[in-house]
Structure 1
Amino acid sequence: MSETNTTFHNPVIPGFHPDPSVCRVGEDYYLACSSFEYFPGVPLFHSRDLVHWTRIGNVLDRPDQLRLPLDSPSSGGIYAPTLRHHDGRFWLIVTNVSGDGNLLFTTTDPAGPWSGPIRLPDVHGIDPDLAWDEDDTCWCTTAGVAQVPIDPHTGRTLGPQRRIWSGTPGAKAPEAPHLYRIGEYWYLLIAEGGTERCHSVSVARSRTPDGPFEPCPANPVLTHRGTEHPIQNTGHADLVQGPDGSWWMVLLGVRPGGGSPGWHVLGRETFLVPVDWVDGWPVAGALSPEAPAPPWPLRPGPAVPVRDDFDENELAAHWVSVRHRPPEDCTTKERPGRLTLRARGGSLDEPDVTFVGRRQQHPACRVRAHLDPSRGEGGLAVRLDESHHYTVEAAPGQVRVRARIGPLTGVVASREAPAGPVVLRIEVTPVDAGYDARSGPDTVSLGFENPEGGFVELASLDGRYLSTEVAGGFTGRVIGLFASAGSVDIDWYDYEPLGS
């Protein structure tokens, strides 16, 4: 996108990047997202224009920061960070629902390293927020909506935790609170209605950070519930002011596809919308796939590489694993220019599988990997969780496709393949539902490439079974590499978006 463009495309961070929290330092914006059961945790992005975001790392990239026991469920783990800058430091507060509760991390350089965890054992509730008042009191607000002053350096609470607002009467799940001092008021932004189709953003204000809070008469200030809008489940927002004084909101939403009820497969994504102020209340602009650009030059960052030849000693920041990544089971140091995966769990059904993947970020894509199974078995997988995944797996002289859909699992197809390394391939193709309300959102084709040329498709499977509407939970698809027996070596991995 050139600087002369007057529009931008939503989502601004596509794929499984939910619960965005944003802050600005000078002309630089930083944004963090939830990561749930994946390690490393809390992806961190940088932007100069709110539209183009570059991954600069992960906040939780060491085992001492992120403990995800093997018995922690998928869609457990890390929920809803809040990212703030105060007194020359970056602060990130987050909940690990798989055992450690609310944790606080800090750094002077957002690219890391971040500190070890400061524990907050007396702060209860998920989705914690941080805000400092003019006396430098730090207020921590959590879902519910409850609040307590804390010492952010020690994690000690400085008073009782008390309920300050319950959101709109009758609306469920008041959560994702963010507290701001804007002008003469303190504004409390929350999500409510649940994170499904009734998700919404509401706001209240007070003269003091601890209330009492007056709800906006126009609540919710943003929702797509009950509409035919292509972006649904809109909520969990955060406000940020641009250097020119304009206001913006980042939020999550989904892009459902197929027939009824619609299935979203990429997870909850990060969207951007402008905000105006009317009579002292924020008014969100129209959220659309193509929207007017911010009133400053757009500055595209470096493109995310679609191919990895594994030439570096460490994996790039966009690679994630399930719960942990023991270096002895996943390394680029054993064979130069190769990623070596050593099997731990035998399949994607198991919580300790050796897996490394990247988020699916486009409705249509092609993924290819050059894999050598001469020392074991492994392949490519489209993963939603342990009970919902498709794999194409290579063993010496054979390639097979497996499907796991809830309690059902088995080999869908298999075929002899030439001995030696093989190029495995997965293609995701959206489906035009047309007049058939039963149509799924896409098809997932799995197979391998014939050495003489061409794609040998072993199976084409309905993508709805790898959707949140079928599997439940809060994540999205991750497409990656795994080892199921012995060791496998991967020469390269290529992710190619197809279409828009």
Structure 2
Amino acid sequence: MKKKFSISILSGVVLLSVLTVPFPSCNMGTKAELPSFASDSLVAHFDYFTYKGDDDFYKENPLPGDDYYYNPILPGWYSDPSVCTDGKNYFLVTSTFSYYPGVPIFHSTDMLNWKQVGHVLDRPEQLPLDGQRTSEGIFAPAISYNPHNQTWYMITTNIRRGNFFVKTKDPFGSWSDPVWLPEVGGIDPSFFFDEDGKAYIVNNDVPDGGSTYEGHRAIRVREFDVETDKTIGESIMLVNGGVNLADKPIWIEGPHLYKINGSYYLMCAEGGTSENHREVIFKGNTPMGKFLPWDKNPILTQLHLDPNRPLPVTCAGHADLIQKDNGQWWSVFLACRPIDNKFENLGRETFMLPVRWSKDGFPYMTKGDELISGIIQMEGVKRESGTTFGNFEKNDGFDTPELGMEWTTLRGAATELYSLTENPGFLTLRCADVASNELKSPAFVGRRLQHHKFECTTSMYFTPQTAAEMAGVLLMKDEGHQYFMAVEKDGDQVQISLKKIKTNVVETLASQPLKPTDDSIDLKVTSTGTHFSFYYATGGGSWKLLAEGVEAYYLSTAQSFGFTGTTIGLYASNKLYEFNN
């Protein structure tokens, strides 16, 4: 059933009654007659939200068997993946930057079928993000399992606060409060638990003697005491600059230590996270060094390939290795799927490839001109329904008391700004006194874009009373790159408009007047991958075009920079815009 509010306003109080009409894709519940926010602030009520991927690659290239999967395995901006296992269960985490909750955690028993089971950082005390920009916050989480104490660890960087870890005996449940590591500098820390019970932290930091050029960094190691949760001894430099310091390599980062067949391997990313991104490997006899680079590095990259190749996968790197229970080695890593080498609206996504071993004992994922394939076979595993990859459709009728795991907010839980229980079956958003370009928590509930071609729809009940009140659908890249399809008031006229939000300018791209009505207004966004179109409908009528051919490039990482992809969602505000960031 599709739900309908009948809204009237008497002396500043919103009175609601609820009707129902058929709507086939959502399972609707009953409604309260009066939202608790009504006497406090005007609110917008969202009936449902649908997301449907429609990428050509998946339609034109069906999987050849039930032991195949599509790359990326986690489409959309699931970047900096890390994976670990206790021999039976596999867990994978990715970065979330300034979005809340932090660090989604996925579980699998076969490495092909993944399901999100929660977030590692799901409490405010674990995730202080106040005042941080969209691409700040949580960088490069690394998840590890210590068999000596049967404990799972997740260590990461909060870019404004420093490095910390959390731990748990049950990764399906809650994780500890942060244990901060002020003596571990830089970014991208990762645990290594050796066979003898000793533990180590490797991380990116400044080289001995300081940096001598822009991007000159080092990989360092410290021993760690699992009994006291403290580091031991001094920080030792393992890698200065990268594979070859004479080449002045930049941004050596994302380190992971492994012990394989009696040897220690140190794997790192190099070259920055754009087109020059690559993965490199070093080998040593102890966790404290000396580590020597393989003479055939890099072990994963696409940087040297023809940029005009069909369906390019770029920026590949920041990998982690995992051995399955059958002995096979696999790697998860980040990469991008740009259109025309500039439309990177999906951000850095999680890919997975099998690992091969050289005759001289080094792992690698690509060599020469090998392409990262979009279709991979994993023998001995059967693909289940509800996979995380390919074209899929998600319909949310807002019928549960908590948001689904795909939803996210900015810089905090924002639970004082939205409700799923005051009017069950609706997402109710308060018109907050926070603008979407401020470094605060706006009344914005969004999800990642996961396809180049997609369609999103929602139905909203909202009647603005002042020029400051607005609600609708927001496409968010960062504070200075947004599109907002808004219902708002211009003088005495209620209208729907499309706004292009820049760092210090708001441009109205299109607007249409709306007739006074107690009915809902339906909103739709479609994408061709390079352009967006925006539609609306009133009273259950047919779709009307608001704007078409709106450039997606404006929200691309290649244009706006930053580490996230684009997020789409529902937004309400009682503030025009803040231009003081």
TM-score scaled by length of structure 2: 0.78
Structure 2 residue 552 is the aligned partner of structure 1 residue 463: yes
Amino acid at match of 2:270: E
* Residue among 385, 389, 404 paired with 2:482: 389
Partner residue of 2:460? 371
Contact 2:454–2:527 (CA<8 Å) still a contact in 1? yes
Q: Give the C-alpha shift of residue 244 in structure 1.
A: 1.0
Report the secondary structure of 1:347's partner residue.
coil
Partner residue of 1:63? 124
Structure 2 residue 496 is the aligned partner of structure 1 residue 408: no
Partner residue of 1:294? 378
* Residue among 158, 165, 169 paired with 1:108: 169
Q: Give the C-alpha shift of residue 408 in structure 1.
A: 3.3
Whole-angstrom CA distance in 1 between matches of 2:382 and 2:324: 13
Partner residue of 1:493? none
Partner residue of 2:301? 223
**Could you tell which deviates more after superposition, 50-59 or 213-222?**
50-59
Partner residue of 1:78? 138
* Residue among 485, 496, 504 paired with 1:399: 496
Contact 2:71–2:376 (CA<8 Å) still a contact in 1? no
Quote the sequence identity (%).
Answer: 35
Contact 1:118–1:153 (CA<8 Å) still a contact in 2? no
Whole-angstrom CA distance in 2 between matches of 1:153 and 1:72: 33
5+ residue gaps in structure 1? 431-441, 487-500
Report the secondary structure of 2:197's partner residue.
coil
Partner residue of 2:109? 48
Alignment of 1:246-265 (within 5 A): 246-258=328-340, 261-265=341-345
* Residue among 350, 362, 379 paired with 1:281: 362
Report the secondary structure of 1:42's partner residue.
strand
Whole-angstrom CA distance in 2 between matches of 1:452 and 1:369: 12
Whole-angstrom CA distance in 1 between matches of 2:68 and 2:429: 43
Partner residue of 2:70? 9
Q: Give the C-alpha shift of residue 311 in structure 1.
A: 1.1
Whole-angstrom CA distance in 1 between matches of 2:153 and 2:431: 37
* Residue among 320, 341, 344 paired with 1:238: 320
Structure 2 residue 324 is the aligned partner of structure 1 residue 324: no
**Could you tell which deviates more after superposition, 235-244 or 326-335?**
326-335
Amino acid at match of 1:466: L
Contact 1:118–1:154 (CA<8 Å) still a contact in 2? no
* Residue among 235, 240, 251 paired with 1:161: 235
* Residue among 466, 475, 489 paired with 2:564: 475
Instruction: Spell out, residue by residue over 1:272-311, the C-alpha distance to the aligned partner (whole angstroms, 9 max, x if none).
Output: 1111111211121455343331122223253576111111
Structure ID, larger Rg: 2
Partner residue of 1:433? none
Whole-angstrom CA distance in 2 between matches of 1:252 and 1:2: 22
Amino acid at match of 1:168: V
Partner residue of 1:98? 160
5+ residue gaps in structure 2? 1-61, 205-217, 576-581
Contact 2:67–2:381 (CA<8 Å) still a contact in 1? no
Partner residue of 2:225? 151
Instruction: Spell out, residue by residue over 1:101-147, the C-alpha distance to the aligned partner (whole angstroms, 9 max, x if none).
Output: 11111112222211111111111110001001233221000012011
Contact 2:94–2:105 (CA<8 Å) still a contact in 1? yes
Report the secondary structure of 1:244's partner residue.
coil
Structure 2 residue 408 is the aligned partner of structure 1 residue 312: no
Whole-angstrom CA distance in 1 between matches of 2:539 and 2:337: 37
Contact 1:405–1:465 (CA<8 Å) still a contact in 2? no
* Residue among 127, 135, 151 paired with 1:89: 151
Contact 2:112–2:381 (CA<8 Å) still a contact in 1? no
Whole-angstrom CA distance in 2 between matches of 1:192 and 1:428: 33
Amino acid at match of 1:93: I
Contact 2:342–2:556 (CA<8 Å) still a contact in 1? no
**Could you tell which deviates more after superposition, 129-138 or 462-471?**
129-138
* Residue among 422, 426, 448 paired with 2:525: 426
Report the secondary structure of 1:344's partner residue.
coil
Contact 2:316–2:336 (CA<8 Å) still a contact in 1? yes
* Residue among 157, 179, 183 paired with 1:118: 179
- Count residues in correspondence: 471
TM-score scaled by length of structure 1: 0.90
Partner residue of 1:357? 446
Report the secondary structure of 2:532's partner residue.
strand
Whole-angstrom CA distance in 1 between matches of 2:352 and 2:408: 25
Whole-angstrom CA distance in 2 between matches of 1:7 and 1:332: 38
Whole-angstrom CA distance in 2 between matches of 1:204 and 1:465: 39
Partner residue of 1:182? 260
Instruction: Spell out, residue by residue over 1:231-253, the C-alpha distance to the aligned partner (whole angstroms, 9 max, x if none).
Output: 00000000001111011110000
Whole-angstrom CA distance in 2 between matches of 1:30 and 1:296: 19
Amino acid at match of 2:409: S
Report the secondary structure of 2:129's partner residue.
coil
Q: Higher relative contact order by CA 8 Å / sep ≥ 6: 1 or 2?
A: 2
Contact 2:89–2:108 (CA<8 Å) still a contact in 1? yes
Whole-angstrom CA distance in 1 between matches of 2:224 and 2:385: 37
* Residue among 350, 353, 357 paired with 1:270: 350
Q: Give the C-alpha shift of residue 346 in structure 1.
A: 4.2
